[in-house]
């Protein structure tokens, strides 16, 4: 029977992996955003999706959301869930992903991360009849919800939202959405734009003036730096790292520290560490406080940034940074014969071929870091099938109030 455009009273059975409430109607699952397990709700249903109209009987785990935009902005899914069950939900995401691969290793309690600590935001901007809307997309929509606050972000980005809106008004195309990546570096905002209006000389001059007036550290569009008033830097365990315009950084400095706290114990008895997907040195620079590091990364700009940081850093063990596409050319077992420990932190898609190569090696310790429990579990399964033993699993709540979780898994062989 089709669940087409009808209003129903539903009992929510559980939370789905995207943070939606899940109910059953006519034998089919119905997903209700912003509903919690155990609640009775009224919802408008269309094609198996639902719009929450009313919470008839709320869960005792429901709390008031922290942001006025919650429910219209699609940036957060779980602000309405109390802290303890929220952290348990995040842990369960990891538990279930591992179980789906036949892995039943104990999973530690989720390391919490406080609001107001996310230093990196990816915003969208579109022109409207009233000017420019800058913010996040509404749930399951291309509509951009203009934000005036965001309790997830660091205060430096929140305070800059009016200035960022003016920047968007200068750079946004007539049609389509501008993409704006904002990183709160230690010495100012590092801003990267894509999908802008055509970059004419006049637009370039406007952007330069705005960057100077707003005192941003750097503004870049695609592969071009428009203006750098000072090189943006990020403190990584006492070393000043250089971010790449629009490049990857851990979203929260607190989460970055929490992740390394889970990595470090596995490296305690090693002198040399091989790091795969090293980026600009998020973990490399911390590891190098105690261990020599061979770092491999496919992005040329990230490798150059890490080399520069390593040359100018102090109190570091030797760092050898090499550019290598680990998806096309994973490090093979014969290249890992002398490796004492490997740390790898691939993108969300995971590193199936690299995990397969690691599985056939005799590296004593492997530490896998991932923002995707499903691909982590797949890669860990490959390692376990190759003779590794999964010893610890630590979730870290890097992505506050979202259905995403960061994980560190440690494996040993021999």
Instruction: Return the pLDDT at 237.
Output: 85
Contacts of 186 (CB under 8 A, 6+ apart): 232, 233, 234, 235, 240
Instruction: Return the pLDDT at 162.
Output: 97
* Cβ atoms of 234 and 101 closer than 8 Å: no
Q: What is the pLDDT of residues 208-226, one digit of tens each?
A: 999 999 999 999 999 999 9
Nearest Cα to 309, choosing from 284, 290, 336? Answer: 284
Please state which CATH class domain 86-113+249-412 belongs to.
Answer: alpha beta
* pLDDT band, residue 174 (cuts 50/70/90): very high
Known binding residue 250? Answer is yes
Whether the CA torsion 143, 149, 151, 152 is positive or negative: it is positive
To the query of whether residue 67 is one of the catalytic residues in this protein, the response is: no
Mean pLDDT of 101-105: 95
Residues facing residue 57 across a β-bridge = 40
Question: How far apart, in whole angstroms, are the C-alpha atoms of residue 398 and residue 104?
Answer: 23
Could you give phi then psi for residue 263, rounded to 5 degrees? -80, -45
* pLDDT band, residue 123 (cuts 50/70/90): very high
Averaged confidence pLDDT in the chain? 95
Q: What is the pLDDT of residues 54-79, one digit of tens each?
A: 999 999 999 999 999 999 999 999 99
Q: What is the pLDDT of residues 19-65, one digit of tens each?
A: 999 999 988 899 999 999 999 999 999 876 799 999 999 999 999 99
Mean pLDDT of 149-153: 97
Question: How far apart, in whole angstroms, are the C-alpha atoms of residue 281 and residue 303?
Answer: 9
Known binding residue 345? Answer is yes
The SS3 of residue 196 is coil
Instruction: Return the pLDDT at 43.
Output: 95
Q: Where in the chain is the domain with CATH 2.40.50.1070?
A: 120-228
Known binding residue 143? Answer is no
Q: What is the pLDDT of residues 312-363, one digit of tens each?
A: 889 999 999 999 999 999 999 999 999 999 999 999 999 999 999 999 999 9
Q: What is the pLDDT of residues 245-298, one digit of tens each?
A: 999 999 999 999 999 999 999 999 999 999 999 999 999 999 999 999 999 999
Using the predicted structure, report yes or no on whether residue 4 has a pLDDT greater than 70.
Answer: no
- pTM listed for this prediction: 0.93
Q: Where in the chain is the domain with CATH 2.40.50.140?
A: 6-62
* pLDDT band, residue 129 (cuts 50/70/90): confident
CATH 2.40.50.140 describes domain 6-62: yes
Instruction: Return the pLDDT at 141.
Output: 86
Which listed residue (67, 73, 76, 371) is catalytic? 371
Question: How far apart, in whole angstroms, are the C-alpha atoms of residue 95 and residue 99?
Answer: 6
Using the predicted structure, report yes or no on whether residue 1 has a pLDDT greater than 60.
Answer: no
The length of the chain is 414
Domain 120-228 sits in CATH at 2.40.50.1070
Number of Cβ atoms within 10 Å of the Cβ of 138? 16
Q: How do beta strands 21-25 and 14-15 pair?
A: antiparallel
Instruction: Return the pLDDT at 48.
Output: 63
Question: How far apart, in whole angstroms, are the C-alpha atoms of residue 164 and residue 177?
Answer: 15
């Amino acid at each position: 029977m089709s669940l087409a455009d009808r209003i129903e009273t539903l009992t929510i059975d559980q939370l789905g992996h995207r943070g939606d409430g899940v109910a059953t109607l006519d034998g089919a699952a119905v997903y209700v955003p912003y509903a919690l397990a155990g609640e009775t709700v009224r919802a408008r249903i269309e094609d198996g999706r639902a719009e929450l109209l009313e919470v008839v009987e709320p869960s005792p785990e429901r709390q008031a959301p922290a942001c006025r935009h919650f429910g219209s902005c699609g940036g957060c899914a779980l602000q309405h869930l109390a802290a303890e069950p929220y952290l348990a939900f995040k842990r369960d995401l990891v538990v279930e992903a591992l179980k789906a691969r036949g892995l039943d290793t104990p999973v530690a309690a989720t390391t919490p991360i406080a609001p107001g600590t996310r230093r990196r935001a990816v915003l969208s901007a579109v022109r409207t009849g009233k000017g420019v809307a800058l913010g996040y997309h509404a749930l399951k929509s291309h509509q951009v919800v203009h934000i005036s606050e965001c309790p997830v972000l660091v205060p430096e980005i929140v305070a800059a939202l009016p200035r960022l809106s003016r920047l968007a008004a200068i750079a946004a195309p007539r049609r389509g959405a501008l993409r704006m990546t904002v990183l709160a570096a230690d010495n100012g905002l590092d801003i990267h734009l894509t999908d802008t209006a055509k970059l004419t000389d006049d637009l370039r001059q406007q952007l330069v003036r705005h960057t100077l007036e707003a005192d941003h550290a750097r503004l870049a569009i695609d592969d071009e730096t428009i203006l750098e008033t000072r090189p943006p830097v990020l403190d990584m365990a006492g070393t000043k790292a250089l971010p790449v315009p629009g490049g990857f950084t851990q979203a929260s400095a607190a989460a970055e520290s929490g992740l390394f706290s889970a990595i470090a114990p596995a490296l305690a008895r090693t002198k040399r560490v091989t790091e795969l997907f090293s980026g600009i040195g998020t973990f490399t620079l911390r590891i190098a406080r105690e261990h020599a590091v061979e770092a491999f990364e496919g992005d040329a700009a990230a490798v150059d940034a890490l080399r520069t940081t390593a040359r100018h850093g102090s109190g570091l063990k030797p760092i050898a940074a090499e550019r290598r596409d680990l998806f096309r050319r994973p490090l093979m077992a014969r290249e890992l014969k002398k490796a004492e420990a490997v740390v790898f932190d691939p993108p969300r898609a995971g590193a199936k071929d690299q995990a397969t190569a690691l599985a056939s090696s005799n590296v004593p310790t492997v530490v896998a870091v991932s923002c995707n429990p499903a691909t982590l579990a797949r890669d860990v399964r490959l390692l376990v099938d190759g003779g590794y033993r999964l010893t610890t699993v630590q979730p870290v709540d890097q992505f506050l109030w979202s259905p995403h979780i960061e994980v560190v898994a440690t494996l040993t062989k021999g």
